[in-house]
Amino acid sequence: MEGARPVRAARGTQLTAKTWPQEAALRMLQNNLDPEVAEHPDELVVYGGTGRAARDWPSFDALVRTLTTLADDETMLVQSGRPVGVMRTHEWAPRVLIANSNLVGDWATWEEFRRLEALGLTMYGQMTAGSWIYIGTQGILQGTYETFAAVAAKRFGGSLAGTVTLTAGLGGMGGAQPLAVTMNGGVAIVVECDPSRITRRIEHGYLDVQAATVDDALRLADDARASRRPLSIGVLGNAARIVPDLLRRGAAVDVVTDQTSAHDPLAYLPAGVAFEDWAAERSKDPAGFTQRARESMAAHVEAMVGFLDAGAEVFDYGNSIRGEAQLAGFDRAFAFPGFVPAYIRPLFCEGKGPFRWAALSGDPADIAATDRAILELFPDNEPLARWIRMAGEKVRFQGLPARICWLGYGERDRAGLRFNELVAAGELSAPVVIGRDHLDAGSVASPYRETEAMADGSDAIADWPLLNALVNTASGATWVSIHHGGGVGMGRSIHAGQVTVADGTPLAAEKIARVLSNDPGMGVIRHVDAGYDHAADVAERRGVRVPMREG
């Protein structure tokens, strides 16, 4: 892409922008494009196939220029990756407001989106790409760890030891799968068609070995399973071929899922297309390519259903592969559930979700100090402590050092305020940013993922993410974003995000106390409204006001 160049966020305490909130947005934008973080930085693509941090390089330059000069009573407006205005606001207002990839309902199709993208009018923001709080594969590692821990609790007595998980995709998100499985004690076989992704995950310590062939992978998996030894195995090939092949052979597989970029048919390699020809084939005939990709996804999903019928635990991991397979005519595509109703919803009822933070100093010691703070704050939460300890040992930072853990209502604000105190006391060498994924308890409407099978049928009601963005804006978040599409694709989700800076000031403390209560509070009220008793209990115990239950 014209203008491409390597980007890396500044470290240390020297400011380029006027004050820390703007500096934080600047560093996190740049950090999203750090070659250690982004999947295709030259294309401004951070993760998820096409999720961008800025629309094009001139827009990136304008974002940097504007953030560098932005005052404490100004707000920069970003429309799909391009800064379009600076407005006079006030010091409690966000410094940046972002709207990415939003299209009016009837127009919210991939065809229309791509037509507008080709005209240079929009970009795909994914969830944390266009909202500048992607922290590399660790971000999803914790959620993936939680999910596989829940699978283990539901089916395998609390551990994946002695089980084999079959999945595909070693991209920005999917690359977390092998480590999440081995952290839970299991064996993973992961199919990936791009050899560089396999190498990268091995280099980063997320994947243990690459098998030379499918036979080799099965041999390695059987050995490790028999000795209840954790092991992750990458296999080069096409999942639409290999997954059905393994089913035919009767491979001993206990858990099946998938994280190829199935939400976007142009980012799923159809069987029969060589990896080297992918780019040329899809640009030659996008419509024909889409059809072939969907047919391959149908074969892939049919095999997943075959494993389900054979007794395996099978789930959709948030990439819309069931929806695409159904479009290709496979009518049992929805025979297995999405991971949220299967494992995550009870956590959402408590406002629990992917809380994350990054050290703007660039110093790993700052994250070690925040890790200790989390362990001190929540001494009774053993799974949290296990995660923080394992993450400290196993997670290699990409870009600015960062950490993630799932915290809920009444926990996030405590953690954020503690971090702010550590900054004020000089125990951290620079401020930290505190944000989260758009995949959270009360910030997303996504009928194939976060809001699949809601108790009251409100899956497609998208007022909630909009209220979430509004309440975070009203509560003092540093930047707030509203996106369409995200991980499940155009027309299928609307979601919002927030990032708040802990710069050690009393003002930051006031903002943190509000944002980090109200943001997870949205998760609690959303699930109370949908009729979840667990959420109603949480609201009552923790004092979350729900007008329809008062009076």
Q: Transcribe 112-164 into DSSP letters.
A: HHHHHHHTTS----TTTTTTT--BTBHHHHHHHHHHHHHHHHHHSTT--TT-E
Rounded distance between C-alpha atoms, residue 47 and residue 123, angstroms: 13
Among 53, 262, 445, 536, binds ligand NAD (CB under 6 A): 262
CB 465 within 8 A of CB 451: no
For 27-45, letters b (16+ CB in 10 Å) and e give bbbbbbbbeebbbbbeebb
CB of 485 to ligand NAD, least distance (A): 9
CA 501 and chain centroid, separation:
20
Interface with ligand NAD (CB under 6 A), residue from 240, 434, 525, 538: 240
Smallest CA-to-CA distance from 134 within 284, 347, 303, 354 is with 354
Out of 177, 238, 472, 500, the only residue in the binding site for ligand NAD (CB under 6 A) is: 238
The strand pairing partners of 168, in sequence order, are 191
The residue (of 17 and 190) whose beta carbon lies closer to ligand NAD is 190
3-state secondary structure of 294: helix
Would you say 144 or 361 has its CB closer to ligand NAD?
A: 144
Stretch that binds ligand NAD, among 19-27, 30-38, 317-325, 501-509 (CB under 6 A): 317-325
Nearest approach, Cβ of residue 414 and ligand NAD (Å):
25
Distance between CA atoms of 310 and 35, rounded to whole angstroms? Answer: 42
- In the annotation, is 193 catalytic? no
Q: Establish if 399 lies at the interface with ligand NAD (CB under 6 A).
A: no
Q: How many residues lie near ligand NAD (CB under 6 A)?
A: 34
Which of these segments, 91-99, 238-246, 380-388, 511-519, binds ligand NAD (CB under 6 A)? 238-246
Minimum gap (Å) between residue 211 Cβ and ligand NAD: 14
Q: How many CA atoms lie within 13 A of 14 on its CB side?
A: 3
Q: DSSP label at 110?
A: H
Specify the residue, 454 or 488, whose C-beta has the smaller distance to ligand NAD.
488
Nearest CB to ligand NAD, comparing residues 23 and 452: 452
Contacts to ligand NAD from residues 182-221, by CB under 6 A: 191-194, 197
Q: Is 49 in the site for ligand NAD (CB under 6 A)?
A: yes
Q: In this structure, are residues 406 and 347 in contact, taking their beta carbons and an 8 Å threshold? A: yes
Does residue 261 belong to the site contacting ligand NAD (CB under 6 A)?
yes
Q: Which helix (H) or strand (E) holds 444?
A: strand 444-445
- Return the CA Rg of the chain: 22
171 part of the interface to ligand NAD, by CB under 6 A: yes
Q: Which of 53, 97, 129, 239 binds ligand NAD (CB under 6 A)?
A: 239
Q: Which amino acid is at 32?
A: N
Closest contact distance (angstroms) between CB of 300 and ligand NAD is: 7
Q: How far is the CB of 454 from ligand NAD (least distance, A)?
A: 17
**Closer residue to ligand NAD in complex, CB, 188/267:** 267
CA end-to-end span of the chain, whole Å?
59
Calpha distance 430→465 (Å, rounded): 31
Structure-token match 């966020």, residue found:
9
Site for ligand NAD contains 442 (CB under 6 A): no
Whose structure tokens read 């009928």? 447
Q: Hey, what are 111's tokens?
A: 């065809």
Q: What distances in angstroms separate CA 405 from CA 9, 307, 371, 415, one per listed residue? A: 23, 32, 10, 11
268 is an interface residue for ligand NAD by CB under 6 A:
yes
Q: Which x/- pattern over 14-43 shows residues binding ligand NAD (rule: CB under 6 A)?
A: -------------------------x----
- Is residue 319 close enough to count as binding ligand NAD by CB under 6 A? yes
Which residue in the list 405, 407, 415, 439 is annotated as catalytic? 405
Token match 């091995």: residue? 202
**Is residue 255 at the binding interface for ligand NAD, with CB under 6 A as the rule?**
no
Q: Least Å distance between CB 448 and ligand NAD?
A: 11
Task: Considering only the stretches 13-21, 95-103, 232-240, 463-471, report the one whose residues sit in contact with ligand NAD under the rule CB under 6 A.
Answer: 232-240
Identify which of residues 342 and 359 has a Cβ nearer to ligand NAD in the complex.
342
Q: How far apart are CA 20 and CA 316, in angstroms?
A: 40
Closest to ligand NAD by CB, 267 or 462 = 267
In the numeric block, the tokens 């294309």 are attached to 43
Q: Which residues are catalytic?
A: 405
Note the residues at the interface with ligand NAD (CB under 6 A).
39, 47-49, 140, 143, 168-174, 191-194, 197, 238-240, 259-263, 267-269, 317-319, 439, 487
